[in-house]
Structure 1
Amino acid sequence: MKLYEQFAEELSALIRSGQLRAGERLPSVREARARRGVSASTVFMAYQLLERDGLVHARPQSGFYVSAQISAGTAAPASTAPRAEASEVAISELVFEVLRAARSDGIAPLGSAFPGPELFPLPQLAKATFAGLRGQDPQTIVDNLSPGNPRLREQIAMRYRLDGVQVQADEIVITNGALEALNAALQVLTRPGDTVVIESPAFYAALQAIERLKLKALEVHTDPVAGIDLDALREALSRHRVAACWLMPGFQNPLGSLMPEANKRALVALLAEHAVPLIEDDVYAELFFDRQRPRPAKASDSAGGVLHCGSFSKSLAPGYRLGWIAAGRYSQQVQRLTLMTTMSAALPAQMAVLNYLETGAYDRHLRRLRTALRARMEAALATIEASFPQGTHVSRPRGGYFLWLALPPGGDAMALHRVALRERIGIAPGQIFSPDHRFSHCIRINCGHSGSIVLPALQRLGALTHALLREST
């Protein structure tokens, strides 16, 4: 073991044992060098190793500090048990009702879909927009129509390849956010009346897309930690004629589950065996807390049957609405569909993100973003443990910024949603994550906003939950 690795291992043990607590400042490089009798580079490399492991984070002009750790704490919610039959979906009105209320001015955005705007490099992106458009050749306006700017597509393809995923630039189609990519994939793969496999609970936008296209949803048992149950999926595929699967193997919304890599490989093999394409919704891929980004299911796809959808909206530029799809053997069909519908993603957004990526600043931003989100999640978990009634179960994701809470018996998510709104707190009740409005005792919490907003709202939400439970008994 090298000197810097040995030093990092000793500090790691102190942090994991609690002897160094969250928020404590590590000795400066100069102090540590003097105490240990090692070079400054040894200390700095040790701190960098700890930072990559998510154990410490750097504060500009201040030093390195111990990061909050995701602890065992309250038990995770139980696995789901959906019904075994495909069903029509009628969810949109309820979703619109919830989202409309949560967008009102002055609402604590615990039910929103995006983390706090202060986490994103918006001034730098604005400069990148002007730089990208200055002196633009008119011909490039045509070049940036679907499938999108060639340099941007190559940048995205390069990031795939750095992670060991063999994706070529000509497979990628740039879209107006990941949602356009996901909807285009679903439209290419299905016809009205077809059955689509989804997780249980499922992202409400997937349910809305299934409803809009007059498809049927087949929910499959999903574990809050490891994701969709492959045995249950195998059984579903043997009993039903399935046109496509829309799944989130990485940091699933709303559960936060992460499929192990071996399960992802088995998933791709199982679907290939049944000739069922996979729409892989991977918009939270960059928001991991461990040392390395989890490899997507797409990494195991040799037949082009995985349509991998990503986005910069959750990791870099929410309002720019820029996503993409690596559509495998369906790339040309997706490209034609986008040309017939939205034509292309906006040129300024493409140029802004391209120029920002080419500066090399993206990965530095991501490291800061992951550290902030992890700290905010840990603070939210601690507040939930202290504020909510005994018997509340909460997920403990290894990335992202959503928490899935199962309230104790008698808990009513819609009732909590309504009383919380009167207190200027927005939440996402569990009923919007199922075709038949199940999960009435569950809520999804966005903990990606500032602690000054989220923590008092969670404390009040816990008190409201206590009061509702008393009323129901």
Structure 2
Amino acid sequence: MGFKYTEVESTIISYLEKGLLKPGDRLPSLRKLSVTLGVSLSTVNQAYLNLEKQGLIEARPRSGYYVLSYPNHQLDYPKSPQTDFTPRTFKRKDLILEVLNVLGNEQLLPLGIIAPHPSLLPLKELNRAMRSVLQENRAEILNYEKVEGNFLLRKQISFEYLDIIPSLNPEDMLITNGAMEALSLAVRTLTRPGDNVLIQSPTYFCFLQFLENYGLRAIEIPSNPKRGINPKDVREALDRFEVKACIFSANFNNPDGSLTTEEQKKEIVALLAQKEVPLIEDDVSGDIYFGVHRPKAFKTYDQKGLVVYCSSFSKTLCPGYRVGWILPGRFYKKVYELKATTSVSSTTLCQLALAEYFKNNSYTKNLKKLNKLIELQMKNILVAINKYFPKGTKATSPQGGSVLWLELPLQIDSILFFQKALELGISIVPGNIFSTQDRFKNFIRISCNGLWNKEVENGIARLGQLAYELIN
């Protein structure tokens, strides 16, 4: 999973982005760069070959490698949405089902699905853990697990996340069937039909689907693509409306990739604590970060047990295992009751296998490799968008997560774009389904699975051509 040459590629691309290397410049020799970065000659050579395939550099006989091209400007960021705070219901069920229908379709280029490419996951280590559990022939693999989940797994998760949630205790946690069940349990625990729920806009369409299914009304506050959620907007909504709960994603929000600052997180948690308003936190993207340190969570600053924290390993380790977890805080008893009467417990075998994996492998080490690959693919996709898409296209350049949020020229309808892309064998997600207010009709979301190759580049090129056709 992951290779050192991708780190070399990232280094060269960062030089290009910063203008330290310009078209026509000679790159450092293989030997010089191998010494500078502390990697082998073959590693540098592989990185240069890949960059050459991408059309960024070229080899000149007996002269070395030279920068061939690189966009001389970065794409502008999409505009920050303006919302009117009016409580609304959500009716996008048919479109959401159409989007979800592409899951598992291997005939499509998966630019609409948020999941790492299987080749980048620690398959051997996970298989070894699974075999170990099966070979022990323990009768417990055939039995129901406890409602709250396997204790060893909860203990391992607690160890992994102590830096993010210092007070984390295995007894405070329940294992769920992915983060979706965790979020559903939280919404059902904290709300009743007709209640107002505060969400950021744009937001993950499944949150909006929850609100529709449970008869709730959404109050949208803007999510700034660069700065995330503004505490002033939270305060205004709390002052104007009776809010029963909030659903926020502070770390690399889906779909705009925004990161809410640590100071803003602290202030928002304090505001909600004053009003005794619970916060449902979706942190499934928090582990996918490109900086030195993982960002903290809202839960980090929770002193009153009002933050219900939800996460999973579906975006980083094993999507098919469907292992998630929830920290219900002061609402533990009610969440436990709902879990027990909904799914009883999560799959025993997958919990045991994942606990075995954590016992013998470094999740952090594998995560670091995966994050490097996702970051590299994201940069390459942005270069391709700049190259192939019409003038006026805007895109985010997030510090983590797995999504890019594109604002297309106004003439383009994202639903039509989505349908035409499917005809080309490419899945993307139309912006319309990320809000109740029809504010993202010319936006699309593109997902990054960490794999960059000619097929992906050709897919971006075809999408760019489609954009031109729809304009004309």
Same-fold call, TM cutoff 0.5: yes
1:32-51 alignment runs, 5 A limit: 32=35
The 5 A counterparts of 1:212-223 are: 212-223=213-224
Structure 2 distance, partners of 1:59, 1:179, is 43
Cα distance in 2 for partners of 1:59, 1:202 equals 44
Q: What are the residue-to-residue correspondences of 1:458-469 with 2, within 5 Å?
A: 458-469=460-471
* TM-score with structure 2 setting the length: 0.86
Q: Report what 2:392 is aligned to.
A: 391
Task: Tell me if structure 2 keeps the 8 A contact 1:132–1:352.
Answer: yes
Alignment map for 1:111-122 (pairs within 5 Å): 111-122=112-123
* Number of matched pairs: 437
Question: 2:367 is matched with which residue?
Answer: 366
Distance 1:122 1:316 in 2: 9
SS at match of 2:162: helix
Deviates more, 1:437-446 or 1:92-101: 92-101
Q: Which residue number in structure 2 is paired with residue 233 of structure 1?
A: 234
Contact residue 114 and residue 402 of structure 2 kept, 8 A: no
User: Residue 401 of structure 1 corresponds to which residue in structure 2?
Assistant: 402
Matches of 2:340 and 2:254 in 1, distance apart? 29
Which residue is equivalent to 2:5? none
The worse-fitting range, judged by mean Cα deviation, of 431-440 and 248-257 is 431-440
TM-aligned CA deviation for residue 70 of structure 1:
12
Aligned to 1:413: 414
1:50-69 residue pairs with structure 2 within 5 A? 62=43
Identity of aligned residues (%): 35
Matches within 5 A, 1:6-155: 18-19=20-21, 27=31, 32=35, 62=43, 73-101=74-102, 104-135=105-136, 137-138=138-139, 144-155=145-156
Counterpart CA distance in 2 for 1:139 and 1:447 is 38
AA of the residue aligned to 2:125 = Q
Q: Secondary structure at the match of 1:145?
A: coil
Aligned to 2:158: 157
**Cα offsets for 1:13-62 (capped at 9, x unmatched):** 97855359999887589x73xxxxxxxxxx8xx85xxxxxxxxxx79984
- 1:26–1:397 distance in 2 versus 1, CA, 3 Å: farther
CA displacement at 1:366 relative to structure 2: 0.7
Q: Is the 8 A contact 2:196 2:217 kept in 1?
A: yes
Q: CA deviation at 1:450?
A: 2.7
Give me the CA root mean square deviation: 2.9
Q: CA deviation at 1:449?
A: 5.1
Q: Aligned pair 1:450/2:443, yes or no?
A: no
1:402–1:448 Cα contact (<8 Å) kept: no
Q: How many Å apart are 1:165 and its aligned residue?
A: 2.7
Kept after mapping to 2: 8 A contact 1:146/1:338: yes
Q: Please give the alpha-carbon distance, in whole angstroms, between the structure 2 residues aligned to 1:120 and 1:62.
A: 21
Gaps of 5+ in 1: 1-10, 33-42, 48-57
Query: 5+ residue gaps in structure 2?
Result: 1-10, 52-69
Contact preservation (8 Å) 1:178, 1:322: yes
Q: Which residue of 2 aligns with 1:185?
A: 186
Superposed displacement of residue 411, structure 1: 1.8
* Structure 1 residue aligned with 2:258: 257
* Superposed displacement of residue 316, structure 1: 0.2
Q: Distance in 1 between matches of 2:246 and 2:27?
A: 43
Task: Specify the alignment match of 1:294 in structure 2.
Answer: 295
Deviations 1:279-302 (A, max 9, x none): 100001111000110011111011
2:340 corresponds to 1:339: yes
* Structure 2 residue aligned with 1:40: none
Give the aligned partner of residue 351 of structure 2: 350
Asked whether the 8 Å contact 1:79–1:222 carries over to 2, the reply is yes
Query: Which residue matches 2:59?
Result: none
Query: TM-score by structure 1 length?
Result: 0.85
Alignment pair present for 1:283 and 2:294: no
Task: State the AA in 1 paired with 2:470.
Answer: L
Deviation at 1:353, TM superposition (A): 1.2
- Describe the SS at the equivalent of 1:162: coil
CA distance in 2, matches of 1:201, 1:139: 43
- Cα distance, 1:83 vs. partner? 2.6
